Amino acid sequence: MTATEPTQAARPVLIATALQKSYGAKVALQSVSLKLYAGEFVALLGPNGAGKSTLVQLLSGLFVPDKGDLSVLGFDIRKEAPKALAGLGVVFQQSSLDLDLSIRANLLFHTDLHGMARKTALSRIQTGLEQHGLQGQEGVAVRSLSGGNRRKVELIRALLHQPKFLLMDEATVGLDPASRHDLMRSVDALTQAGEVAVLWATHLVDEVSHACRVLVLNQGEIVFDGLPSELIAQSGGLSLEQAFLKLCPQK
């Protein structure tokens, strides 16, 4: 994953400013701000309970922030949610595929929700299946697929409407090492084309070493935003994992 330097004139794909979210007396996020540009692979790293899930829910439009501003492709997610979410693709930690439907039926359901013409939908589905080695399996029930191939279907689905911002929420949980590597390589290829911004939420340090940038979230706050090498340098030359643990000490 190679860093892509945004130009001064580049327009951010995502702008989040001073986001806050609480559940009763519990503060989940406090004044979180970030920007993502096309072609960036940005890792959101944080321990369990740091607030990653809450931030993902805000960015994906599932929840509304208590305070702060959020826009995708220039559209305010509060005022113009349909336009903002039309530019977003999401792969959630928990699978949201219908296990009893075929791969094709799952994907067509998504394209129908986006109002895509059937001819265009079928063409994009076929291209996606070929790109991820699933050609000829359109009629296979999702239930019969391995965990890695289910994730491939979810990635294909997330990209069918050609989003500019792809949100990956702990997407490798439960995958074997080979499947995890394949998924990360597929997502990395999207950013190399320079058109998609990826936010990769994870608690696994080894998944962020080649990211363009690393955002470290701890106790609801962004405590680091920079290159992986800068995080290591800030720690005094520790390994990336040790640098992360130093920044986010476990109680």
Whichever domain contains 202, its CATH number is: 3.40.50.300
Measure the CA–CA gap between 18 and 43, rounded to whole angstroms. 19
DSSP SS3 for 99: coil
In a domain, 21, yes or no: yes
Same domain, 129 and 228: no
Long-range contacts of 241-246 (CB under 8 A, 24+ apart): 241/205, 241/206, 244/45, 244/205, 244/216
Measure the CA–CA gap between 37 and 129, rounded to whole angstroms. 27
In a domain, 229, yes or no: yes
Token pair listed for 78: 């509060």
> Cβ(89)–Cβ(171) under 8 Å?
no
Q: Please return the burial class of 8, using the count of CB atoms within 10 Å of its CB with bins 0-12, 13-18 and 19+.
A: exposed
Same domain, 74 and 197: yes
Same domain, 191 and 242: yes
The whole-number pLDDT of residue 150 equals 93
Same domain, 138 and 176: no
SS3 content of the chain, % helix, strand, coil (to 5): 35, 25, 40
Same domain, 174 and 216: yes
Domain C-terminal end among 145, 162, 179: 162
Token pair listed for 165: 């911002």
> Cβ(212)–Cβ(181) under 8 Å?
no
Token pair listed for 9: 């004139």
Same domain, 117 and 176: no
DSSP SS3 for 133: coil
Domain C-terminal end among 139, 162, 185: 162
CB count, 10 Å around CB of 173?
14
Same domain, 53 and 77: yes
Same domain, 201 and 157: no
In a domain, 226, yes or no: yes
Domain C-terminal end among 136, 162, 188: 162
Domain that holds residue 29: 11-87+163-251
The whole-number pLDDT of residue 3 equals 44
Q: Which amino acid is at 67?
A: K
In a domain, 118, yes or no: yes
Q: Using alpha carbons, select from 88, 84, 68 the residue that is nearest to residue 76.
A: 84
Does the reported pTM lie above 0.85?
A: yes
- What is the radius of gyration, based on Cα positions, of the chain? 18
In a domain, 4, yes or no: no
Same domain, 179 and 244: yes
Same domain, 112 and 148: yes
Same domain, 131 and 247: no
Token pair listed for 237: 């030359």
Q: How many domains does the chain have?
A: 2
In a domain, 36, yes or no: yes
Token pair listed for 129: 């299946």
Mind listing the pLDDT tens digit of every residue in the chain (251 residues)? 444 455 444 789 999 999 999 999 999 999 999 999 999 999 999 988 889 989 999 999 889 999 999 999 999 998 999 999 889 999 988 888 999 999 999 999 999 999 999 999 999 999 999 988 899 999 999 999 999 999 999 999 999 999 999 999 988 888 888 888 888 888 888 888 787 999 999 988 988 888 999 999 999 999 999 999 999 998 888 889 999 888 888 76
Same domain, 217 and 100: no
DSSP code string of 2-24: ---PPPTTPPPSEEEEEEEEEET
In a domain, 148, yes or no: yes
In a domain, 16, yes or no: yes
